[in-house]
Amino acid sequence: MTRRPSRLVERGAIGHASAVSVADVATCVFACLPSAKISELVALGPNGVSSGKAVRVYGEMSTIGQQAVERIARGLQARDIATVDAPVSGGPAGARAGTLAIMAAGSAETMTFVAPWLSRMGSRVFPVGERVGAAQTMKLVNNLVLANTMAGTFEAMVFGAKAGLDAVTMIEVMNASTGSSWVTTDIVPRAVLPGTFAFGAATSIIAKDVSLGIAEAQALGVPMWTLEQSARLWQFAMAQGHAHDDMTRLLTMIASWAGVPEAAVVSQDQP
Residues involved in catalysis = 139
Q: HEC string of the chain?
A: CCHHHHHHHHCCCCCCCCHHHHHCCCCEEEECCCCHHHHHHHHHCCCCHHHCCCCCEEEECCCCCHHHHHHHHHHHHCCCCEEEECCEECHHHHHHHCCEEEEEECCHHHHHHHHHHHHHHEEEEEECCCCCCHHHHHHHHHHHHHHHHHHHHHHHHHHHHHCCCCHHHHHHHHHCCCCCCHHHHHHHHHHHCCCCCCCCCEHHHHHHHHHHHHHHHHHCCCCCHHHHHHHHHHHHHHHHHHCCCEHHHHHHHHHHHCCCCHHHHCCCCCC
Question: Looking at the chain, how many residues does it have?
Answer: 271
Contact 60, 69 (CB under 8 A): yes
User: Which residues partner with 85 through β-bridges?
Assistant: 60, 105
Contact 193, 267 (CB under 8 A): yes
Angstrom distance (rounded) from CA 17 to CA 185: 40
